[in-house]
Amino acid sequence: MKNITITLDEKTAAWARVAAAKRNVSLSRFLGELLRERMREARDYDEAMRRYFASTLAIRRQPGERYATREELHDRPRLR
């Protein structure tokens, strides 16, 4: 574990103390869990974006490129 010092305005610090007390955890543990959750969300989002852009099934267009027609979108030769 790494100890760090943070500076919060009074309103934010009061909110964090109350939120930690409601969960019956220390302020330090509460903030650590909050940051871990945020880190996990960011990692999951980045992974989802990577999968999306790597997918060949995604329908994407470049700026200035025309939209696909209905026929092009629904032509699924692999399903025939």
pLDDT tens readout for residues 21-63 = 999 999 999 999 999 999 999 999 999 999 888 877 666 677 8
DSSP per-residue letters across 17-41: HHHHHHTTS-HHHHHHHHHHHHHHH
Q: Return all residues near 54 (Cβ < 8 A) that are at least 6 apart.
A: none
Inform me whether the pLDDT recorded for 16 exceeds 90.
yes
First to last CA, the chain: 57
Domain boundaries, the chain: 10-79
Kindly report the backbone phi and psi dihedral angles of residue 57, in degrees, each rounded to the nearest multiple of 5, phi listed first: -85, -20
Q: Return all residues near 50 (Cβ < 8 A) that are at least 6 apart.
A: none
